[in-house]
Amino acid sequence: MSWRRAPSDWQDRVSLDELLQQTEILPRSFYERPTVEVARELLGKVLVHGATAGQIVETEAYLGEEDRAAHASRGLTPRTRVLFGPGGHAYVFFIYGMYDCLNLVAEPEGRPGCVLIRAVEPLCGLAQMRRRRPSARRVEDLASGPGKLCRALGITRALYGVDVTQGPLTVRRWKREPEFEIVVGPRVGIRHCADWPLRFYIKGNPFVSRP
């Protein structure tokens, strides 16, 4: 699935009912695997929160205690406790005093790892997303960054720790999964381990945060 409308087209690409019929929720076993595998395979999946949804087009992997850029490198704290739990839960944190960011916990319980969702391609609920992100000038800018997508989809720290295999925030896969090429590169916006090739995005997709 990829966007084929003009940049000025703010219409939903698919209705929520149609999307739910064409997709199924990812099971916990999807997440309880090596973080890099999960980060790559989350591309093309669909993030759904309430009446809004977007296809994941960009991710970053954070590997745990050996990764100085990962929050888990500081060990088990009240903030990071969900990272040390079972896979398939949301780790939402606040940055720069203004943005929430969504990570999905990977790896089996006791082994921290997570995937930052960096960008999604809006699919449905665009009118609501646009009200939440009035500064977006083009549909491509609506959710092209970790803070932008959380604001557009209404994802906040109130969802910290929720189980994404059920409930209000879920990740789904298409019953007929799309084909695409994956680009691999260094993570962005961090100081430590910035050259590690742990950023993944769909080649040629106009909704990624940066090419």
- The C-alpha atoms of residue 26 and residue 164 are separated, in whole angstroms, by 8
Q: How far apart are CA 36 and CA 64, in angstroms?
A: 11
Instruction: Give the global pTM.
Output: 0.93
- CA dist 149 and 126 (Å) reads 12
Q: Which of 135, 172, 196 is CA-nearest to residue 56?
A: 172
| Residue 60 neighbours by CB under 8 Å, 6+ apart | 39, 115, 116, 118, 187, 188, 198, 199, 200
Confirm or reject CATH 3.10.300.10 for domain 16-202, answering yes or no. Answer: yes
User: What torsion do the CA atoms of 125, 131, 135, 140 make, to the nearest 10 degrees?
Assistant: 10
Q: Over its length of 211 residues, how does the chain's per-residue pLDDT go in tens digits?
A: 444 444 447 899 999 999 999 999 999 999 999 999 999 999 999 999 999 999 999 999 999 888 888 888 887 888 889 999 999 999 999 876 678 999 999 999 999 999 999 999 999 999 999 999 999 999 999 999 999 999 999 999 999 999 999 989 999 999 999 999 999 999 998 888 888 999 999 999 999 998 7
Burial class of residue 32 (count of CB atoms within 10 Å of its CB; 0-12, 13-18, 19+): middle
The pLDDT, as a whole number, for residue 6 is 43
CB atoms under 10 Å from CB of 85, counted, come to: 17
Joined together, the tokens standing for residue 1 give: 């699935």
Domain extents for the chain?
16-202
Maximum Cα–Cα distance across the chain: 47
Contact 189, 119 (CB under 8 A): no
